[in-house]
Amino acid sequence: MNKILPICGLAVSGILALSACISINDPDRVAARTIGNEHHNGTKQILSVNTLTEQNAGAREWSDVLTQNARLHEFRVLHTGSVRVPREGVLHLEDPAAQDLPEDDLFVDVFAFWFCHSSAGCFLIDSGLDESYRTGQGGNVRGLMAKNYIMDTRQEPGQDIVAQLDRLVDERHPLKGVFFTHLHGDHTSGVPAITSQPEYRDLRWFAGRDENYVNYFLLYYGDHLANVQTLEEIDWTAAPIMSPLGNCVDIFGDGTFWAIATPGHSSGHLSYLLMTDDGPVLLTGDASHTGIGFERGIEPGWVWNRDLARSSLRQLRAFKRKFPNVSVIYGHERAASDG
């Protein structure tokens, strides 16, 4: 473990987040505040961070949410390639429940997710991989430490995020924005390719409150957010606690799309619950990279705060136990039952 530096890079300093929740149908209600500039090697990273300040309606019961009629449409898991990583990064191998697992490397899938809301348009969750990952050369993450995290890559023709968006986006299905689970390189790597397309210049970009952007020049960097003018924070801290999960933000205000605070793997990590036409889907993000970690309760090896990573995973597992009909998709692995 010791040879792996924790991925938890440069903080967007001085963020004084306000209260919670958003209504993205009504941008005027989003408080825009320029709070700082991050410059690395002359490359502009995040020009400003908005804090989202619209209070939502208050706590609801999951049993009501999971039986509601309002749904998201067109939900798709976009498999954008695979990366080879050390198992000790995706699973804390010192956990007693991991004693039988080998200390080897493994290829894990890198996803983005696509859905459409009935009035707000279509969105991605995470950005997937761009076509630089086809070469097996580490994609668009560089630096002396990059090979410690992404050791090898695989991608089939047409799997890169822009190729997949080309097949999904049309006049009836406009891409409006991207919600990140967190800002690690394998989740932000598709951003430069997306922002280079003229039709995607006006997207909105959302991450969890106080999520650190990982970009260590010389060590581990990709400048993935260089063309993201504004990163909007979802401030979950004043959102209702919805047991057995923690703070949960009803993004559209209609119960179809929830951001769930699951800090630990990273500082502002979010999981998401989507009420899709095919039923409820829980995206753990990297609160659990793999199915075996979820089943055995083994948190990732790569963590920003191990205690928080453990408690976030415990809450997600309790939610799945209480609502077994919810499909779970892990950060880097689809459950077999989800096809």
Residues forming contacts to Zn ion in the complex (CB under 5 A) are 184, 286
CB of 332 to Zn ion, least distance (A): 9
Residue 150 tokens read as 């992404």
What is the rounded distance in angstroms from the CA atom of residue 66 to the CA atom of residue 326?
Answer: 9
The edge-to-edge listing of strands for the beta sheet with 48-51 is 48-51, 230-234, 204-208, 175-179, 121-125, 105-117, 73-86, 152-154
Closest residue to Zn ion: CB criterion? 184
Residues 6+ apart with CB under 8 A from 66: 275, 280, 323, 325, 326
Residue closer to Zn ion (CB basis): 240 or 264:
264
Of 184 and 204, the one with the shorter C-beta distance to Zn ion is 184
Encoded amino acid at 262, one letter: T
Q: Is the peptide bond before 244 cis (omega within 30 degrees of 0)?
A: yes
DSSP 82-97: EEEEEHHHHS-TTSGG
Minimum CB distance to Zn ion smaller for 183 or for 251? 183
Min dist CB 160 to Zn ion, Å, is 20
φ, ψ for residue 7 (rounded to 5)?
-85, 100
Residue nearer to Zn ion on the CB measure, 180 or 200: 180
Q: Is the distance from CB of 294 to CB of 313 less than 8 angstroms?
A: yes
Q: Residue 7: which of 156, 211, 208, 207 has the closest Cα? A: 211
Q: Which is nearer to Zn ion, 7 or 116 (CB)?
A: 7
Residue 286 Cβ, how far from Zn ion at the closest point, in Å?
Answer: 4
Q: What does the angle CA 43 – CA 139 – CA 264 come to, to the nearest 5 degrees? A: 75
CB of 126 to Zn ion, least distance (A): 10
| Nearer residue to Zn ion within complex by CB, 4 or 66 | 4
CB of 77 to Zn ion, least distance (A): 17
Least Å from the CB of residue 180 to Zn ion:
10
